Amino acid sequence: MSAVIENHHEDHHHGPAKGITRWLYTTNHKDIGTLYLWFSFAMFLIGGAMAMVIRAELFQPGMQIVEPEFYNQMITLHGLIMIFGGVMPAFVGLANWLVPMMIGAPDMALPRMNNLSFWILPFAFFILLSSLFMEGGAPNFGWTFYAPLSTTYAPPSVTFFIFSVHIMGASSIMGAINVVVTIMNMRAPGVDLMKMPLFVWSWLITAYLLIAVMPVLAGAVTMMLMDIHFGTSFFNAAGGGDPVLFQHIFWFFGHPEVYIMILPAFGIVSHIIETFSRKQLFGYSSMVWAMLSIAILSFVVWAHHMFTVGLPLAAEIFFMWATMLIAVPTGVKVFNWVATMFRGSITFETPMLFAIAFVVLFTIGGLSGLMLAIVPADFQYHDTYFVVAHFHYVLVPGSIFSIMAAVYYWIPKWSGNMYDERLGKLHFWLSFAGVNITFFPQHFIGLAGMPRRYPDYALQFADWNMVSSVGAFLFGFSQILFLFIVLKTVMGGKKATGQVWEGAKGLEWTVASPAPYHTFSTPPKID
Contacts of 455 (CB under 8 A, 6+ apart): 57, 58, 63, 66, 68, 71, 72
Q: Is 112 exposed, middle or buried (CB count within 10 Å of its CB: 0-12, 13-18, 19+)?
A: exposed
* pLDDT of 501: 96
Write down the catalytic residue from 270, 340, 350, 399: 270
Chain centroid to CA 516? 28
What are the φ and ψ backbone dihedral angles of 417, each rounded to 5 degrees? -120, 145
Q: Is 305 annotated in the active site? A: yes
Q: Is 255 annotated in the active site? A: yes
Q: Is 8 exposed, middle or buried (CB count within 10 Å of its CB: 0-12, 13-18, 19+)?
A: middle
DSSP code per residue over 462-504: HHHHHHHHHHHHHHHHHHHHHHHHHHHHHH--SBPPSS-STT-
Q: Is 21 exposed, middle or buried (CB count within 10 Å of its CB: 0-12, 13-18, 19+)?
A: exposed
Write down the catalytic residue from 31, 107, 316, 349: 107
Write down the catalytic residue from 40, 172, 277, 399: 172
Q: Is 304 annotated in the active site? A: yes
Nearest to 214 by CA among 167, 178, 163, 180: 167
Write down the catalytic residue from 36, 97, 251, 259: 259
Q: Is 143 annotated in the active site? A: yes
Helices and strands (H and E) in the chain: how many: 18, 0
Write down the catalytic residue from 26, 157, 164, 171: 171
Q: Is 456 annotated in the active site? A: no
Q: 397 and 362 in contact (C-beta within 8 Å)?
A: yes
Write down the catalytic residue from 29, 30, 166, 333: 333
Write down the catalytic residue from 119, 143, 454, 457: 143
Q: Is the CA virtual torsion 274, 410, 263, 366 positive or negative?
A: positive
List the beta strands (DSSP E) in 233-386: none
SS3 of 319-360: HHHHHHHHHHHHHHHHHHHHHHHCCCCCCCCHHHHHHHHHHH
pLDDT tens per residue across all 527 residues of the chain:
444 444 444 444 567 888 899 999 999 999 999 999 999 999 999 999 999 999 999 999 999 999 999 999 999 999 999 999 999 999 999 999 999 999 999 999 999 999 999 999 999 999 999 999 999 999 999 999 999 999 999 999 999 999 999 999 999 999 999 999 999 999 999 999 999 999 999 999 999 999 999 999 999 999 999 999 999 999 999 999 999 999 999 999 999 999 999 999 999 999 999 999 999 999 999 999 999 999 999 999 999 999 999 999 999 999 999 999 999 999 999 999 999 999 999 999 999 999 999 999 999 999 999 999 999 999 999 999 999 999 999 999 999 999 999 999 999 999 999 999 999 999 999 999 999 999 999 999 999 999 999 999 999 999 999 999 999 999 999 999 999 999 999 999 999 999 999 999 999 999 999 999 999 999 998 87
Task: Give the whole-angstrom CA distance, residue 148 versus residue 152.
Answer: 5
Write down the catalytic residue from 304, 390, 413, 443: 304
Q: 364 and 315 in contact (C-beta within 8 Å)?
A: no
Write down the catalytic residue from 29, 166, 271, 305: 305
* pLDDT of 34: 98
* pLDDT of 13: 55
* pLDDT of 17: 86
Query: Taking the CB of residue 490, how many other CB atoms lie within 10 A of it?
Result: 16
Write down the catalytic residue from 117, 131, 277, 330: 330
Q: Is 78 annotated in the active site? A: yes
What are the φ and ψ backbone dihedral angles of 384, each rounded to 5 degrees? -110, 180
Q: Is 345 annotated in the active site? A: no
DSSP code per residue over 114-172: HHHHHHHHHHHHHHHHHGGGSTT-S--STTTT-TTTTTTT--TTHHHHHHHHHHHHHHH
Task: Give the whole-angstrom CA distance, residue 204 versus residue 206.
Answer: 6
Q: Is 107 annotated in the active site? A: yes
Q: Is the CA virtual torsion 363, 367, 368, 369 positive or negative?
A: positive
Write down the catalytic residue from 257, 274, 316, 349: 257
What are the φ and ψ backbone dihedral angles of 160, each rounded to 5 degrees? -65, -40
Under CATH, what is the fold of the domain 2-510?
A: Cytochrome C Oxidase; Chain A (1.20.210)
Q: Is 270 annotated in the active site? A: yes
What are the φ and ψ backbone dihedral angles of 495, each rounded to 5 degrees? -70, 140
Write down the catalytic residue from 382, 425, 452, 453: 452
Task: Give the whole-angstrom CA distance, residue 391 versus residue 372.
Answer: 11
Write down the catalytic residue from 30, 55, 78, 392: 78
* pLDDT of 3: 44
Rg of the chain on CA atoms, in Å: 23
